[in-house]
Amino acid sequence: MSRTKDPKKISAVVIDMCHILGFDEACNQFKMLQIWDSVVGESISEATSLERFSDGQLFIRVRNPAWRMELNFRKQDIISKLNSALETQMVREIIFR
């Protein structure tokens, strides 16, 4: 690795290393954590927290039942936006708890 005068963000370094080591799925999971707030917006982001991602299922903890109901109505839109931002069809289902 050569030295550069332009510093990189640690998130960019982690993504580069995941690609080099062949951990593309892990890289996409990391990227999902990074983009969640921008994809769903501030109000939803404050009402939710990411729990885990497994076999195409994204598990989200929701602050209260009213938010869970609202997010279930928006589920397909959120999945589309996440997959579009990730540039892959990684998320097949979101489970709100």
- Give residue-wise pLDDT tens across range 51-82: 888 888 899 999 999 999 999 999 999 999 99
Residue spans per domain, the chain: 10-96
Q: Are 49 and 60 in contact (CB under 8 A)?
A: yes
Dig out the tokens for 22 from the structure. Answer: 């062949």
Dig out the tokens for 92 from the structure. Answer: 């097949």
Q: What is the mean predicted confidence (pLDDT) over 84-94? A: 88
β-pairing, 48-54 vs 57-62, is: antiparallel
CATH of domain 10-96: 3.30.300.180
Using CA atoms, how far apart are residues 4 and 80, in angstroms rounded to an integer?
A: 37
Nearest CA-CA partner of 68 in 91, 89, 94, 31: 94
The answer to whether residue 1 scores a pLDDT higher than 60 is no
**DSSP conformational letter for 74:** T
